[in-house]
C-alpha cells in the first residue's frame, strides 16, 4: 500500500478511526500489506483466544478470535504440471486464509463470512519471499500472543518431525498434542523426537500412545516435568509407579487397567506427601465391580475420610485460568486430608476415579 493510497491521504486520527471500525479478520489481512498497516494493527492491541499449529494434511495456523475461527493454510508443491505432492515446509507457494464464523455457539458457516452485513469470500494468494515461520511470527506479533497454545501432530503428518522441530524452534509451545486418528500410527522414535525437540511448557495430550503399550522407561523423563496438565486417551499398561512419578497439576487418563486397590495405594501415598503439585486427577479404571458403594469402600479402605451427602452438588473448575477452563458438576464423594492439612474430595463413579483438591471446588 503506497503513500498515495486514498486512505493514507487522510489525517492520522481518521485513518486510525477507520481501522478501529474494522473486524479482526480484515485487520489481520491488512497487516500483511505494508509496514505502516502492520504498525497500525499492532497499535490496536488485538488479542486472540487461541493460536494453534496443525501439521496433518498441510501446515495450518489456526487463530480463534470470536466469533471467527481463522485458518491460515500454507501449501508448497513439488510439481506444477503433474500430480502435486507436498514437500518441505519452508516457503509455501500458496497461502489460504479461510474463515469460519460461529453462529449461535453451535452452527458454523465455513469458507465464507459476513462483515458489515455482507458476505465475503475467503482469500488466497501466491506467496512471495515469506516462509511459514515468517507468517507465524507476524501474526503472533500483531496479535500480541507470544506463544503457540497447541501444536497438533499425527502419524500421517505431511512433514517429518525434524522439519516441525526446525519450524517451531524457539517458540513457547504450551500444549503438544498427539493423535492416533490418522491412517498411520506415530512411531515410538518419532514421538520421542517430538517430545525432546518441542518440550511443551504447559501440557501434552496423548491419544492411544504406543509408548504405553511397550515402553514405560522412555516416557518417565516426561512425567517428571512441571506441567500444568496431561491428557492420555488410552494407557492400558499405566502403573501405580507411573502415576506416582507424575509431577503434574492436572491429570486425565481415560482408560487404564488399574483397579480399586491400585487407587487405594495411590491415595495413601498422596496422603503421605507424594505428588505435591497434583490438584486434579481422573482415571478410567478396570474395576471388578459395577457397584459404586463397593467401589468406594475398596477405594477408601484404611483411609480416614468424611462422607459427603449424595444430594450435595459441587462444581469443579478444571484448567483454571486457561482458554480451556471448564466446569464439572458432581454429587457425593468423601473428604480426605493430606499430612500437610490440604483437603481433597475423592469421588467414584462407574469405571472412573477422581481426586480433586478442595481449592478447585465451588459449592
**pLDDT (tens digit per residue) in 10-23:** 888 998 999 999 99
More confident residue, 289 or 97: 97
Answer yes or no: is pLDDT of 250 > 80. Answer: yes
DSSP string across 138-205: HHHHHTT--SEEEEEEETT-SS-HHHHHHHTTT--EEEEEEE--SSSPPPHHHHHHHHHHH--SSEEE
For residue 42, what are the domain limits? 1-46
The answer as to whether 182 is a domain residue is no
The answer as to whether 175 is a domain residue is no
The confidence score (pLDDT) of residue 37 equals 93
Answer yes or no: is pLDDT of 55 > 60. Answer: yes
The answer as to whether 3 is a domain residue is yes
Query: What mean pLDDT is predicted for residues 69-87?
Result: 63
The answer as to whether 122 is a domain residue is no
Highest mean pLDDT among 211-220, 282-291, 329-338: 329-338
pTM of the model: 0.79
The answer as to whether 103 is a domain residue is no
Least confident of 252-261, 263-272, 295-304: 252-261
Answer yes or no: is pLDDT of 5 > 80. Answer: no
Expressed in angstroms, the distance from the first to the final Cα of the chain is: 56
More confident residue, 203 or 156: 203
The confidence score (pLDDT) of residue 48 equals 96
More confident residue, 131 or 159: 131
Whether 105 and 17 have beta carbons less than 8 Å apart is answered as no
The confidence score (pLDDT) of residue 344 equals 94
| C-alpha cell, 212 | 504405553
State how many domains the chain has.
2
Largest CA distance in the chain: 81
Helices (H), the chain: 12-20, 24-30, 35-43, 132-142, 161-167, 188-198, 211-214, 217-223, 240-245, 260-272, 292-299
Residue 304 pLDDT level (bands cut at 50, 70, 90): very high
The confidence score (pLDDT) of residue 192 equals 76
Could you report the per-residue pLDDT of 309-325, keeping only the tens digit for each? Answer: 988 888 888 776 666 77
Could you report the per-residue pLDDT of 143-152, keeping only the tens digit for each? Answer: 999 999 999 8
Residue 171 pLDDT level (bands cut at 50, 70, 90): very high
Residue 286 pLDDT level (bands cut at 50, 70, 90): low
The answer as to whether 190 is a domain residue is no
Whether 95 and 71 have beta carbons less than 8 Å apart is answered as no
Percent of the chain with pLDDT over 90: 35
The answer as to whether 314 is a domain residue is yes
Residue 87 pLDDT level (bands cut at 50, 70, 90): very low
Answer yes or no: is pLDDT of 44 > 90. Answer: yes
Contacts with 333 (C-beta within 8 Å, 6 or more apart), sequence order: 308, 345, 346, 347, 348, 354
The answer as to whether 158 is a domain residue is no
Amino acid at each position: 500500500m503506497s503513500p498515495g493510497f486514498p486512505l493514507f491521504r487522510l489525517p492520522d486520527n481518521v485513518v486510525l478511526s477507520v481501522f478501529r471500525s474494522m473486524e479482526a479478520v480484515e485487520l489481520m489481512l491488512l497487516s500483511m500489506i505494508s509496514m505502516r498497516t502492520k504498525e497500525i494493527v499492532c497499535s490496536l492491541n488485538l488479542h486472540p483466544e487461541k493460536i494453534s499449529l496443525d501439521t496433518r494434511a498441510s501446515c495450518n495456523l489456526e487463530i480463534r478470535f470470536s466469533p471467527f475461527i481463522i485458518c491460515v493454510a500454507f501449501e508448497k508443491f513439488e510439481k506444477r504440471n503433474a500430480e502435486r505432492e507436498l514437500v518441505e515446509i519452508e516457503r509455501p507457494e500458496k497461502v489460504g486464509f479461510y474463515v469460519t464464523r460461529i453462529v449461535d455457539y453451535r452452527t458454523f458457516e465455513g469458507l465464507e463470512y459476513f462483515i458489515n452485513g455482507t458476505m465475503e469470500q475467503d482469500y488466497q494468494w501466491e506467496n512471495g519471499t515469506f516462509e511459514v515461520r515468517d507468517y507465524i511470527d507476524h501474526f503472533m506479533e500483531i496479535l500480541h500472543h507470544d506463544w503457540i497454545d497447541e501444536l497438533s501432530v499425527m502419524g500421517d503428518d505431511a512433514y517429518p518431525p525434524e522439519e516441525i522441530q526446525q519450524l517451531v524452534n524457539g517458540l513457547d509451545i504450551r500444549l503438544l498434542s498427539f493423535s492416533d486418528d490418522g491412517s498411520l500410527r506415530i512411531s515410538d522414535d518419532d514421538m520421542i523426537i517430538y517430545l525432546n525437540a518441542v518440550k511443551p511448557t504447559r501440557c501434552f495430550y496423548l491419544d492411544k500412545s504406543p509408548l504405553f503399550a511397550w515402553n514405560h522407561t522412555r516416557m518417565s523423563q516426561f512425567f517428571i516435568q512441571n506441567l500444568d496438565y496431561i491428557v492420555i486417551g488410552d494407557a492400558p499398561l499405566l502403573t501405580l509407579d507411573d502415576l506416582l512419578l507424575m509431577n503434574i497439576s492436572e491429570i486425565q487418563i481415560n482408560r487404564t487397567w488399574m483397579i480399586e486397590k491400585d487407587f487405594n495405594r495411590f491415595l495413601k501415598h498422596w496422603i503421605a506427601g507424594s505428588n505435591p503439585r497434583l490438584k486434579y486427577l481422573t482415571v478410567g479404571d478396570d474395576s471388578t465391580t459395577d457397584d459404586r458403594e463397593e467401589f468406594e469402600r475398596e477405594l477408601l479402605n484404611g483411609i480416614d475420610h468424611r462422607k459427603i451427602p449424595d444430594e450435595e452438588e459441587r462444581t469443579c473448575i478444571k484448567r483454571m485460568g486457561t482458554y480451556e477452563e471448564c466446569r464439572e458438576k458432581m454429587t457425593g464423594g468423601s473428604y480426605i486430608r493430606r499430612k500437610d492439612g490440604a483437603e481433597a474430595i475423592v469421588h467414584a463413579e462407574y469405571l472412573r476415579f477422581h481426586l480433586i483438591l478442595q481449592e478447585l471446588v465451588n459449592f
